[in-house]
């Protein structure tokens, strides 16, 4: 079946020319700068190119990052940082805080900001693919893989590169731990949605489906709690999404747990489980409406009208009616007042981020190339800094709206 995922906007950035007249003193040094400019421009273009696929993205990102590493890595394997690290000022906006940019004269800031956007691109590619009407098994695998890759990139940035920034990350900005953690957890939860859809389609054991749904609901709840201390002006819409998905998958968990109980001749408990499923579904339905009415960064959608949502409502209703019929004819069991405690642990299908590393240093960077940058020739007034009138324009990306779902299953 098709899926619907909330997406925040991509980060935008000021143009960077990498023109160091007088500083780059040899043709080799000038060529590296030219390659940096062209590869950065190409990568930014691909972020909004709807025909871009993961292979194209990986090739473009690897080229730019391998060149950018020349501003960061020391070529002699010493602990000293590269002399070019602070040569250029980079300016980036945030996914939540509109077009209010942050600027740092630090190549590591550029590395983590562009890396963050690459991870976001993988989530948007997954969302675009998952929203198709007739999603194939291979496409479902691509969605699953892309979300795990994105989670791996976010994790690597958080653990290995953001701590190296000289200027501390401002609270509420993209590179802050709360936001990065939420993006990682959301990617894992959404990848598990694909696993759940596959398990349902292949008619796997209801106990496994219930456990996976329960784990996924907890992921969404954890992501929401991670954002709870952020300003709701920025994070409100995103949190509504995380909240509604948590309720939605709790409804799934109780629904399939009810099927497991019925199969074990515990019809009264099964009815109570299905009633709890109805409650969570009603909560998710209310949150869908609130999500649509909440202003803030993110995609536009009416999730309650989407088939993935309506389908669960029908499943709960039909399963509950079946349990009540069976109880009236066969079991005559009392329906407990308390809902069953879900202590479900999935042994299969849980998602872990794909480990990520930045590419090795580009071969064009040699000790001679680095030595050819004469920093004493830099003008006194640093022309590398963005001019006051230089605005950071948002990237023109289409708002991802769910397509009409015909109810086709992943085959």
Per-residue buried b or exposed e for 60-77, using 16+ beta carbons within 10 Å of the residue's own CB: bbbbbbbbbbbbbbeeee
Distance between CA 324 and CA 268 in Å, rounded?
Answer: 8
What pLDDT is stored for residue 332 in this prediction?
A: 67
In the predicted model, is pLDDT for residue 401 greater than 80?
no
Other C-beta atoms closer than 10 Å to the C-beta of 377 total: 12
Domain 88-358 homologous superfamily, CATH: alix/aip1 like domains (1.25.40.280)
Decide: 278 and 337 in contact? Cβ < 8 Å. Answer: no
In the predicted model, is pLDDT for residue 409 greater than 50?
no
Per-residue buried b or exposed e for 314-347, using 16+ beta carbons within 10 Å of the residue's own CB: ebbeebbebbeebbeeebebebeeebbebebebe
Distance between CA 52 and CA 126 in Å, rounded?
Answer: 12
Per-residue pLDDT, averaged over 133-137, amounts to 83
What pLDDT is stored for residue 315 in this prediction?
A: 83
Distance between CA 310 and CA 245 in Å, rounded?
Answer: 14
Of the chain, the percentage scoring pLDDT greater than 70 comes to: 87
**Domain ranges within the chain, ordered by starting residue:** 88-358
64 versus 338: which is more confidently predicted?
Answer: 64
Q: Give the count of alpha carbons within 13 A of 14, CB side only.
A: 23
What pLDDT is stored for residue 395 in this prediction?
A: 83
In the predicted model, is pLDDT for residue 294 greater than 60?
yes
DSSP of 37-91: HHHHHHHHHHHT-TT--HHHHHHHHHHHHHHHGGGTS-TT--SSPPTTTTSS-EE
Q: Which residue has the tokens 């992501």?
A: 223
Q: What is the DSSP letter of 382?
A: -
What pLDDT is stored for residue 300 in this prediction?
A: 62
Bridge partners for 92 per DSSP: 13, 102
Summarised one tens digit per residue, pLDDT across range 338-394 is: 877 777 676 666 789 999 999 999 999 999 999 999 999 887 655 445 454 466 888
Both structure tokens of 397: 């990306």
Decide: 103 and 90 in contact? Cβ < 8 Å. Answer: yes
Summarised one tens digit per residue, pLDDT across range 149-166 is: 999 999 999 999 999 999
Q: Please provide the average confidence, as pLDDT, over all residues in the chain.
A: 87
262 versus 382: which is more confidently predicted?
Answer: 262
In the predicted model, is pLDDT for residue 133 greater than 90?
no
In the predicted model, is pLDDT for residue 306 greater than 90?
no
Per-residue pLDDT, averaged over 261-270, amounts to 85
What pLDDT is stored for residue 233 in this prediction?
A: 87
Asked which of 158-167, 226-235, 307-316 is least confident by mean pLDDT, the reply is 307-316
56 versus 135: which is more confidently predicted?
Answer: 56
In the predicted model, is pLDDT for residue 114 greater than 90?
yes
What pLDDT is stored for residue 399 in this prediction?
A: 53
What pLDDT is stored for residue 398 in this prediction?
A: 65
Distance between CA 11 and CA 47 in Å, rounded?
Answer: 10
Strands (DSSP E) along 244-386, which ranges? none
Nearest to 82 by CA among 379, 400, 309, 367: 367
In the predicted model, is pLDDT for residue 131 greater than 90?
no
Q: Which residue has the tokens 């499923």?
A: 277
């Amino acid at each position: 079946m098709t899926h619907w995922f909330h997406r925040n906007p991509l980060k935008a950035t000021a143009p960077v020319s990498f023109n160091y007249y007088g500083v780059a003193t040899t043709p080799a040094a000038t060529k590296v700068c030219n390659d940096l400019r062209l590869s950065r421009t190409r990568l930014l273009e691909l972020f909004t190119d709807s025909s871009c696929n993961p292979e194209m993205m990986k090739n473009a990102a690897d080229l730019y990052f391998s060149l950018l590493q020349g501003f960061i890595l020391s070529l002699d394997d010493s602990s000293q940082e590269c002399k070019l690290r602070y040569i250029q000022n980079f300016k980036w906006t945030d996914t939540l805080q509109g077009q209010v940019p942050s600027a740092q004269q630090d190549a590591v800031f550029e590395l983590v900001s562009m890396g963050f956007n690459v991870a976001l691109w993988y989530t948007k590619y997954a969302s675009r693919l998952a929203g198709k009407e007739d999603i194939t098994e291979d496409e479902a695998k691509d969605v699953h893989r892309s979300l795990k890759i994105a989670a791996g990139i976010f994790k690597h940035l958080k653990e290995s590169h953001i701590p190296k920034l000289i200027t501390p990350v401002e609270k509420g900005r993209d590179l802050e731990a709360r936001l990065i953690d939420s993006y990682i957890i959301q990617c894992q939860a959404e990848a598990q949605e694909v696993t759940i859809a596959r398990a349902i389609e292949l008619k796997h054991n209801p106990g496994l489906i219930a456990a996976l749904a329960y784990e996924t609901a907890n992921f969404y709840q954890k992501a929401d709690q991670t954002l709870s201390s952020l300003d709701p002006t920025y994070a409100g819409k995103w949190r509504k999404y995380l909240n509604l998905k948590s309720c939605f998958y709790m409804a799934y968990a109780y629904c399939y747990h009810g099927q497991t109980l019925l199969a074990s001749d515990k019809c009264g408990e099964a009815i109570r489980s299905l009633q709890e499923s109805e409650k969570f579904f009603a909560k998710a339905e209310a949150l869908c409406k609130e999500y649509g009415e909440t202003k803030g960064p993110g995609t536009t959608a009416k999730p309650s009208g989407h088939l993935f949502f309506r389908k669960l409502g029908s499943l709960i209703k039909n399963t509950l009616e079946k349990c009540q019929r069976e109880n009236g004819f066969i079991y005559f069991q009392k329906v407990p007042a308390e809902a069953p405690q879900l202590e479900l642990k999935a042994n299969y299908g849980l998602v872990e981020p794909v480990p990520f590393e930045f590419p090795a240093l580009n071969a064009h960077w040699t000790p001679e190339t680095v030595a050819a940058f004469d920093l004493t020739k830099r003008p006194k007034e640093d022309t590398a800094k963005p001019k006051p009138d230089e605005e950071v324009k948002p990237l023109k990306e289409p708002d991802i709206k769910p397509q009409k779902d015909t109810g086709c299953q992943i085959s």
